[in-house]
Chain A
Amino acid sequence: MKRIRLPGLWITLILVIGVGVIPAINGSASLRESMFTILMSVALASSLNIILGYTGYVSFGHIVFFGVGGYLGFYAISQLGWNILPAMLVGGLSAGILAFLLGATVLRLRGAYFALATIGINEAMRALVINIPLLGGPVGMEMHFSEYKKYGGPMQALWMVYWGVLIVTVVTIIVSYYVKKSKFGLGLMAIREDEDAAEVMGVVAPRAKTWAYVLSAIFPGIIGVLFFFKNGNIEPGDAFRLQFSIELIVMVMLGGAGTVLGPVIGSGLYQQLRKALLTSPIFKNIQLAVAGFLLLLIILFIPAGAVGWLRAKSVKLRRVLE
């Protein structure tokens, strides 16, 4: 039998697409909603992984790109009456440009300083949006219900958004895979291990870091547009929620930072766990505490995450899992 090429990519894609089409088969709206949350987390966590896992820069404010893209895209849809496709383009582009501008400055900081700066950027952006009346200030913006009619009614619009998020997620994973396998990705990982040594070996660290940051920002920008279009309204608290940003880091760590499959598994596990805790009568009230406890156990005892742990366990798995 011929060897399957790129097993690491195919396993991940088949897993995501396979699980992703289940809601379409049985047509359940509630399943679609929970799958939407999971797919969205997969895309966000995978994009975060490019800067966090490959490059080793801990961004606590990844959600800022989701918020900025979401805000501008939502503005285009709800106030200017744009179609969702160009709005998604605006969302992705604006997030990418923001990352490019920030990259030139903030990425000079290392370690804890960078982490703190990303928190500051997210909070500054949230506070700024509150002061822009054009974007609705502290109450945000709402979208008129008739906006969904363009796409054949709310039902069709929701399914369309679902397919949109599935496609963006798949693209994110493919990009994440090829970044990891490319010379560019090798440069990023060299930066992660030792930035100064990487520079000596000929990696142009500032440029590589900036492009990694831009790549990791574009996808949250697009997802933000889809999410808030589905939501029907947007407000500063939802768009720049620091808590969600940190949950994304947890998802990446859970699955395994620096692997392609890791963020996928991690997001799925985390969201399922969260749902299970929220619906269980015993843990409902302390779900946050239980999640925190699990996080602590992972960091203390399996810092490489699920996929990293499996890869370390057997040579065979290391060939198949990326």
Chain B
Amino acid sequence: MKRPWPGPGIMGGMRTAISFSVPYQRLLDERGAAIGELPEFSRDAAEMLRMYRLMTLVRVFDAKAVNLQRTGQLGTYASCLGHEATHVGVAAAMHAEDVLVPVYREYATQIWRGVTMREILLYWGGDERGNDFAGPRQDFAWCVPIATQTLHAAGAAMAFKIRGEPRCAVAFIGDGGTSEGAFYEAMNLAGARALPVVFVIVNNGWAISVPVAAQTKADTLAQKSVAAGIPGVQVDGNDVIAVRDVVTKALAVARSGGGPTVIEALTYRLADHTTADDASRYRSADEVRRAWSQEPLVRLREFLLRAGFWDASREQGLLEDCARQVEAAVAEYHGTAKQSTDAMFEHLFAKPTAQLLEQRETARRYAGKSGDH
């Protein structure tokens, strides 16, 4: 607690009805050295390298996607730069049969679960087929209307509970999203019904131009869980081991009927909000430079080197392999022909209405004749 709360003006002579605390977990320091005891999975070289490879792949993918946007080959794109440890840590903790409820920049979590880079590019390239994941068929699609997805996660968890399935829903939400009513409603419902859901708040410091301190007077976002009667914890979101460990534990509790958890992952949005944004208008270059010293990829690499799981000579090969995978995905994206105008009318209802079929004919008649726009 940074300041006395509640203030002495109200406190005088009153006893404490209830108090709360917010635990914080960090297992690696900035140089990748272990702090305290590490979880079992951190001694498994293959598991650790799997996480490192994906974090690297997504770093390469992200740079490529920004470049595609800058050169007119992609629409507005939301970069995930700096969020890799949080996104991968969550993915690695989840079971395949769990359901992911993303926002719109958790590409690494999705790729771990089987979403392809081609699908991600299609979505930001203005094509609905990007939402039709070939891999995780039950995972929710990207969610642009802020915080609305948290209620879907609670609802999905309710479905698992009603059917008695040992599955969990994991919802991402941003720091800004925690100001929305829907988020409180979702936490409240999840707590009241002990639903198997985990809410991961990715606190990257900024909701477009608005810093967390302007969103809320709360010292942590995790403590928002207190009002819903459910545990809230903070984790260093740039420490993939810490994130995976905390989410694993929260999911184990949820899966065994112990109810929901709110996890606030502290990280930093190293890029602009999206490619349509210019963060230099509202935050200092100094702040961004300081944030780079905490970034997650180097930290994990240092850990892997110390542990003897990795050596520097393999780095170049990894980067080249990632670049090849990304280029292949870009080629598939470019090779995906535009949908016909029929696509506008498909999947609105299970069976198209007479009105839609008639309009589909009109659209066919004018297809490709809109060049005079």
Q: Check if A and B associate.
A: no
Q: Which residues of B contact A (CB under 8 A)?
A: none
A residues contacting B by CB (< 8 A) are none
